Amino acid sequence: MKVLLVDDHPLILSALQAVIQGLGDNVSVTGASSAQAAREAIAATPDFDMILLDLSLGDADGFDLLAELRAAHPEVPVVVVSASERASDVIRAIDLGAMGFVPKRTSNQALFEALRMVMQGGLYVPPTMLGLDYARLSREGGLADAEPVLGHDLRPEPHQQVSTIEKIGLTPRQTEVLGLLLKGLPNKLIARELDLSVETVKDHVAAVLRALGVSTRTQAVLAVSQMTQGRAGIVPTRLSPNA
């Protein structure tokens, strides 16, 4: 597995390289201390399996680079590894297509688990995200379109509760769209993946959001995380098309 690690702090870059290489003998880690160095590394080695990205870079905004990487290389999962634990930063990163968000104070074992789950097609959300409420998001200056759809502490009202994905009544095609949506793919790439028109994909996405009782993709991630939180913080994205 080839991993690109983007962090402009030399000591942290070195420490994370050592931790990630501990995943196995077949793991190679390339370090990049800036956004430009990351671009050059990808140009030289276009077959990275994963990118780990710090949000605080000297030559670029980390969120801008995240959006750039997801647009240019949608097949490569990007995991944000950041000193920030702001709920608004986690949500924004997921909205921009990150497949995970790992606080830097996370233990090595938790980091290993997060990376393994992302490589298996899952999406990692910090366990603390499952206990945040809308009031806190508002205090932190979260996304303007964030709404308290999931209720206090992300627990839906009784009439909104859904125990499993199977019970929300998605069609096989909508289930496929949900799986790709949770991987952070935009409508155009979902359309290409499923050989559908963009307008048809938009209709399916709208139907999925309605079924989940949410209004944004980020809220969909959090809603699915509630349904599948047998392991806190892990959001599987390999959903059965027959669900």
Give pLDDT, residue 40. 95
Q: Which CATH number fits the domain that encloses residue 157?
A: 1.10.10.10
For the sheet with 234-235, list strands across it: 28-32, 2-6, 50-53, 78-82, 100-103, 123-124, 234-235
Give pLDDT, residue 228. 60
Q: Which CATH number fits the domain that encloses residue 51?
A: 3.40.50.2300
- 8 lies in the same domain as 79: yes
Q: Which of 1-10, 173-182, 200-209, 214-223 has the highest mean pLDDT?
A: 200-209
The DSSP code for 80 is E
- 73 lies in the same domain as 102: yes
Domains: count for the chain: 2
- 178 lies in the same domain as 108: no
- Nearest of 80, 32, 37 to residue 55 by alpha carbon: 80
pLDDT tens digit sequence for 118-151: 888 778 887 665 544 434 444 444 433 433 332 3
Please indicate, yes or no, if residue 91 is contained in any of the structural domains: yes
pLDDT tens digit sequence for 22-78: 777 788 889 898 999 999 999 998 889 999 999 988 888 999 999 999 999 988 999
Domain termination site, one of 128, 158, 176:
128
User: What six digits make up the tokens of 192?
Assistant: 């290409």
Q: Which residues pair with 28 in a beta bridge?
A: 2
Give pLDDT, residue 128. 65
Question: What's the average model confidence in pLDDT over 211-228?
Answer: 75
Whether residue 3 has pLDDT greater than 60: yes
Q: How far apart are CA 99 and CA 96, in angstroms?
A: 9
Give pLDDT, residue 152. 32
Question: What's the average model confidence in pLDDT over 115-120?
Answer: 83
- 57 lies in the same domain as 89: yes
Query: Is the Cβ–Cβ distance between 57 and 35 less than 8 Å?
Result: yes
Give pLDDT, residue 182. 78
SS3 of residue 234 by DSSP: strand
- 119 lies in the same domain as 180: no
pLDDT tens digit sequence for 147-196: 333 233 333 334 334 446 667 788 999 989 988 887 777 888 899 999 99
Give pLDDT, residue 225. 66
Residue 173 CB burial class (10 angstroms; 0-12, 13-18, ≥19): middle
Domain with 46 in it: 2-128
- 87 lies in the same domain as 172: no
Give pLDDT, residue 17. 79
Q: How far apart are CA 134 and CA 242, in angstroms?
A: 33
pLDDT tens digit sequence for 231-242: 444 444 444 333
